[in-house]
Amino acid sequence: MNAFFWIAGYILLAPVLGGLINGCDRIITARMQSRVGPPVLQPFYDVFKLMEKDNLTVNRFHGYYLFIFLAFMLVSGAMFFGGQDLLMVIFAFIVADMFLVLGAYSTNSPYSSIGAERELLQMLAAEPMMLLSAVGFYMVTGSFHVSEIVACDKSLILYLPGVFAGFCYVLTIKLRKSPFDLSTSHHAHQELVKGITTEFAGPSLALIEIEHWYETILLLGMIYLFFAFNPIVAVLVTLFIYFLEILIDNANARVKWELMLKSAWLATIILGGGNLLVLYFILHG
Amino acid sequence: MSWIIFLILFPLAPAVLLLLFRSVSVQKWIVLVASALICVAAIGLAVTCTGAQPKYFSITSSVVNKLVIAGDIILALAFLFVCRRLSLKWYWIPLLVIVQYGAVVFYDLSGRVPAVTQPLFVDNLSVIMALIIGIVGCLITVYTVGYMKHYHEEHPDVPDRRGSFLAAIFLFFFAMYGIIFSNSITWIYFFWEITTLCSFIMISYPRTEEAWHNAFRALWMLLLGGLAFSMAILYASDSCGTVDFRHLLQMNKSAVLLPILLICFAGMNKAAQFPFAKWLLGAMVAPTPSSALLHSSTMVKAGVYICLRCSPILENTASGAVVALIGGLSFLAGSAIAISQRDGKKVLAYSTIGNLGLIILCAGVGSHWALWAAVLLIIFHALAKALMFLAVGTVEQQTGSRDIEDMHGLISRMPLLTITMLVGIAGMFLAPFGMLISKWAVLEAMAIRSPIYPPIVIFGGSLMLFFWAKWMGKLIAVVGPAPQRERGIGIEWTALFGLAVLTVLTCALYPFVGYYLIQPLYGQDPILSQGSICMVGIMLGLMVLLPLGFFIHWKNLVHVEPYLSGANVSDPHQFMGSLGNARQWSFRNYYMGKFFSEEKLFRGSLVGSIALMVLMFVMEKL
């Protein structure tokens, strides 16, 4: 029953919370750039306005991919907050992302396609670390189930500092923040125009925004797991990590994909793999 | 017992008939009837012979053993016969034949090989393999009938010997059923080498310079495996005192590790693991059905099957860990190289090498969960890979190209064929389809074993995702109204649709497969828990239902042309160039040749895998 409330809570409240976090993000970003910034509810105003606009589309199929994208995002998040198998959560998350990529490919527009290709690169860079984190959780707690990882009384961060650092590294990629905002970004104009979202306008773009809120909450939820032994600390750390992401976003210029892929994989192998190796010898040595 | 004998011997009948009758329509009926019978027999076997305990059957007559020895001699002569085309430079290929057969036949005739009282057996793993060979193999055979018709229309220079090609397929079934039901390693060896001969016949079918070259390369590489197998027989007869596979697997690990490693060597060789990957890549010159057959239900699956059988001995040994690493290396290298490939069939070939590597990895680890995952991989890979090969073969016949870039916007030109391809690709990497269920099972199995294996599985999986996804993206780009080109595809649809439906259906039915077939073999597995089945069910439901929405005509959509920085002209495939003239724009996928160059990675993997192979035999002493 508890799981049911969590799932319902995620589906209903995640967009609200995600939107608020997004609003704060924009204010903090503005302050870092010595601007005043929009009101905290601006993301919601944006989405409502987008909803009222014409649904411009290149062909009649590509908008629909976003529905599937959102559906799998919800499934992924619901499984996570329902305490299910973390590996399956990540796989569903990948499927969701896949459908965004497929939608972009389906438009047959050059900017969109190159954004899709770069999004695939981002997935290639970030996924190994996410899955490796799940393996790390398993090695400490003996289960892949989120419910059991949360219930574990060990402080996971002490066992998995490297994995945590690696996860934070790829979090920037997953949130598509600078310097890893290769596939698309919130900035108005850039060499890719809007990359993967180029051909999505009006209500379709609103859908992508809402999905991004769900996504943010799910990713922050994964950060929470590292500190689940103490909920207050966990929430504070999670918010702090998000603040760091904003700081990094504002302090860095976009890098080339080669650097992203190499550095992310290095971080995965050295921080993640190294951590697991040491942990294995501590636990079984 | 009768099912087994029927399955082994029956395929010989259509093989002989196909050689006798030259009429195309007669051949077609022979194939259809024989395929249907094999399918039914495989299902009959599954219904009657499934159970927790393997069943062993004795054969009292000594005639059968003599027949196998006679068969060995005939095979050796056949190998020598095909070698007549070789120049003296290749003297060592016939030498390989003479050495291995000379030794085995000498041992046999001089009575040094102990007799096996129960040479036939069946257990659930054999049943699963029999179903795969029966159902997937027969669908491919049916496809072949239609394919070969077009093939010979397109290649008038290739002599029409389709009867012998079809006969080789049935001979393949004979050999495969022999391998999976034999309990005597001398018998397995006999059937093992028949598959080598069959693949030679198929690869050399186009009779071009390249085909001969690749066929002989496949021959010598596979004969190396045969040599290892024959050495295993000699060693087992001399030192272990038995060639009964069951008894070998029950003996003390240190006593049988060497022959088991030799058999695994043969298995990895047949499964095209590095350093033997080259033969499978060369096999693409043959007509597509042969690739489908070699890659999915036969040949390479014989290799992983035998490794799975050996895994109880490999478990927890240093050599077993090295076997797992060789598999892991092939998984990583195969998946990485596939990224840089444009040729559709080559991508499929590298992905086969990769996926089989994953199965070998599981066999080397040998824990029950790992074996669980391996069996799931075998099943799902067979279906999806057969489907992919057949679909790519049909696309090649329709468009004259199997370059992935030429498949841009295929959904607009050939919607039905593209949908079957999309099912195949989704089956290869997307949750919750089969391969992903298997990968999930692999990860769950590896996470407890050692910190080395999970990163291999994870990195390989991510690489795989990349190349499948970009292929998928190419297919679904909507290029606008285009002439419909799906013409002249006849009987091939049976196989394409059949495999597409099976790919989705087995995924839905995996709990049953797991419960009735795999659980009795390897015990409980977490992926059979209620929560897991539920999650897979929900995702599969969404995956099947949601795409139906593509058929809805949404209202209030405003159609626009794709964004081209404001330089659009009336044709959406062109833009206004800086000199004021309309120019074509085009978009190509990323292949990242610098990162994933075939040449460099292939060479590196060869060196690495040869070193590991040596290490594997050195570790045996530990």
B40 and B180 assigned to the same domain: yes
Q: Cβ(A131)–Cβ(A90) under 8 Å?
A: yes
The whole-angstrom separation of Cα B15 and Cα B9 is 11
Residue B579 domain-assigned (yes or no):
no
Residue B198 domain-assigned (yes or no):
yes
Residues present in chain A in total: 285
- Residues of chain A in contact with residue B536, where contact means CB-CB under 8 angstroms, are 88
pLDDT beyond 90 at A213: yes
Nearest C-alpha neighbor of B461 from the set A180, A124, A157, A31:
A124
Q: Is residue B59 left, alpha or beta, with left meaning phi > 0 and alpha meaning psi from -120 to 50?
A: beta
Q: Nearest-CA distance from A188 to chain B in Å?
A: 14
Query: Which pLDDT belongs to residue A189?
Result: 54
Domain boundary among B264, B299, B314: B314
B329 and B235 assigned to the same domain: no
Average pLDDT, chain B: 92
Residues 6+ apart with CB under 8 A from B75: B101, B190, B193, B194, B197
Interface test with A, best of B331, B437, B462 (most A CBs within 10 A): B462
Domain that holds residue B79: 1-314
Q: Which of the four pLDDT bands, split at 50, 70 and 90, describes residue A186?
A: low
Residue B571 domain-assigned (yes or no):
no
CB proximity B576 to A under 8 Å? no
Q: Which of the four pLDDT bands, split at 50, 70 and 90, describes residue A187?
A: low
B75 and B145 assigned to the same domain: yes
Residue B79 domain-assigned (yes or no):
yes
Q: Hey, which of A4-13, B512-521, B523-532 has the most confident mean pLDDT?
A: A4-13
- Average pLDDT (B319-340) is 95
CB proximity B589 to A under 8 Å? yes
B390 or A283, higher pLDDT: B390
Place of tokens 């698309």: A184
DSSP lists the bridge partners of residue A57 as B559
State how far Cα A104 lies from the chain centre: 18
CA nearest to B461 within chain A: A128
The whole-angstrom separation of Cα B285 and Cα B151 is 13
Out of A105, A114, A131, name the one closest to residue B476 (CB).
A105
pLDDT beyond 90 at B449: no
- Residues of chain A in contact with residue B478, where contact means CB-CB under 8 angstroms, are 58-59, 61-62, 106-108
Query: Which pLDDT belongs to residue B344?
Result: 94
CA nearest to A90 within chain B: B431
Indicate yes or no: CB of B562 within 8 angstroms of CB of A272.
no
CB atoms within 10 A of CB B153: 10
Q: Nearest-CA distance from B155 to chain A in Å?
A: 34
B241 and B342 assigned to the same domain: no
Listed by number, the residues of chain B in 401-430 with a beta carbon closer than 8 Å to a beta carbon of chain A are 409, 430
Q: Which of the four pLDDT bands, split at 50, 70 and 90, describes residue A96?
A: very high
Residue B12 domain-assigned (yes or no):
yes
pLDDT beyond 80 at A65: yes
Indicate yes or no: CB of A117 within 8 angstroms of CB of B470.
yes
Indicate yes or no: CB of B465 within 8 angstroms of CB of A193.
no
Domain boundary among B289, B314, B339: B314
Indicate yes or no: CB of B473 within 8 angstroms of CB of A105.
yes
B186 and B86 assigned to the same domain: yes
B60 or B442, higher pLDDT: B442
**Range of lowest pLDDT (A234-243, B120-129, B430-439):** B430-439
Helix H, strand E, coil C: the string for A137-184 is HHHHHCCCEHHHHHHCCCCHHHHCHHHHHHHHHHHHHHCCCCCCCCCC
- Residues of chain A in contact with residue B458, where contact means CB-CB under 8 angstroms, are 127-128, 131-132, 135
Residue B559 domain-assigned (yes or no):
no
- Residues of chain B in contact with residue A198, where contact means CB-CB under 8 angstroms, are 563
Indicate the DSSP class of residue B153.
H
Q: Nearest-CA distance from A40 to chain B in Å?
A: 31
Q: Is residue B100 left, alpha or beta, with left meaning phi > 0 and alpha meaning psi from -120 to 50?
A: alpha
pLDDT beyond 70 at B471: yes
Indicate yes or no: CB of A56 within 8 angstroms of CB of B558.
yes
pLDDT over 90 percentage in chain B: 69
- Residues of chain B in contact with residue A114, where contact means CB-CB under 8 angstroms, are 587
Indicate yes or no: CB of B440 within 8 angstroms of CB of A61.
no
pLDDT over 90 percentage in chain A: 79
Q: Which of the four pLDDT bands, split at 50, 70 and 90, describes residue B526?
A: confident
pLDDT beyond 60 at A188: no
Residue B11 domain-assigned (yes or no):
yes
CA nearest to B546 within chain A: A68
Structural domains counted in chain B: 2
B182 and B326 assigned to the same domain: no
Average pLDDT, chain A: 92
> Could you read off the pLDDT of B152-188 as tens digits, one per residue?
998 999 899 999 999 999 999 999 999 999 999 999 9
Listed by number, the residues of chain B in 517-556 with a beta carbon closer than 8 Å to a beta carbon of chain A are 531-532, 535-536, 538-539, 542, 546-547, 549-550, 552-554, 556
Q: Nearest-CA distance from A256 to chain B in Å?
A: 13
Residues 6+ apart with CB under 8 A from B577: B567, B583
pLDDT beyond 70 at A191: no
B305 and B422 assigned to the same domain: no
Q: Cβ(B67)–Cβ(B108) under 8 Å?
A: no
Kind of pairing between the strands at B120-122 and B55-57? antiparallel
Query: Which pLDDT belongs to residue B574?
Result: 87
The whole-angstrom separation of Cα A146 and Cα A148 is 5
Query: Which pLDDT belongs to residue B448?
Result: 79
SS3 A201: coil
B111 and B125 assigned to the same domain: yes
Indicate yes or no: CB of B556 within 8 angstroms of CB of A55.
yes
Chain A, chain B: beta-carbon pairs less than 8 Å apart: 183
Listed by number, the residues of chain B in 16-45 with a beta carbon closer than 8 Å to a beta carbon of chain A are none
B300 and B388 assigned to the same domain: no
Out of B465, B549, B556, name the one closest to residue A67 (CB).
B549
Q: Which of the four pLDDT bands, split at 50, 70 and 90, describes residue B296?
A: confident
> Could you read off the pLDDT of A125-171 as tens digits, one per residue?
999 999 999 999 999 999 999 999 999 888 999 999 999 999 999 99
Out of B454, B469, B564, name the one closest to residue A120 (CB).
B469
pLDDT beyond 90 at B212: yes
Q: Nearest-CA distance from A237 to chain B in Å?
A: 27
B230 and B355 assigned to the same domain: no
Out of B477, B479, B546, name the one closest to residue A68 (CB).
B546
Between the CA of residue B448 and those of B312, B438, B443, what are the distances in Å?
A: 18, 16, 9
Domain boundary among B314, B346, B363: B314
Q: Nearest-CA distance from B308 to chain A in Å?
A: 25
Query: Which pLDDT belongs to residue B22?
Result: 87
pLDDT beyond 90 at B145: yes
Query: Which pLDDT belongs to residue B553?
Result: 84
Query: Which pLDDT belongs to residue B560?
Result: 87
Indicate yes or no: CB of A54 within 8 angstroms of CB of B474.
no
pLDDT beyond 80 at B508: yes
The whole-angstrom separation of Cα A83 and Cα A272 is 23
Indicate yes or no: CB of A94 within 8 angstroms of CB of B553.
no
CA nearest to A197 within chain B: B563
Out of A60, A98, A109, name the one closest to residue B430 (CB).
A98
DSSP B257-318: HHHHHHHHHHHHHHTT-TTSHHHHHHGGGS-HHHHHIIIIISTHHHHHHHHHHHHHHHTTSH
SS3 A38: coil
pLDDT beyond 70 at A1: no
Indicate yes or no: CB of B463 within 8 angstroms of CB of A124.
yes
B335 and B217 assigned to the same domain: no
Q: Nearest-CA distance from B267 to chain A in Å?
A: 30
Residue B586, burial from CB neighbour count under 10 angstroms (0-12, 13-18, 19+): exposed
- Residues of chain B in contact with residue A144, where contact means CB-CB under 8 angstroms, are 444, 447
Residues 6+ apart with CB under 8 A from A284: none
- Residues of chain B in contact with residue A134, where contact means CB-CB under 8 angstroms, are 443
The whole-angstrom separation of Cα B296 and Cα B381 is 7
B381 and B528 assigned to the same domain: yes
Interface test with B, best of A124, A268, A278 (most B CBs within 10 A): A124
Q: Nearest-CA distance from A174 to chain B in Å?
A: 15
The whole-angstrom separation of Cα B281 and Cα B258 is 29
Out of B478, B538, B563, name the one closest to residue A75 (CB).
B538
CA nearest to B530 within chain A: A84
Q: Nearest-CA distance from B128 to chain A in Å?
A: 26
Q: Which of the four pLDDT bands, split at 50, 70 and 90, describes residue B68?
A: very high
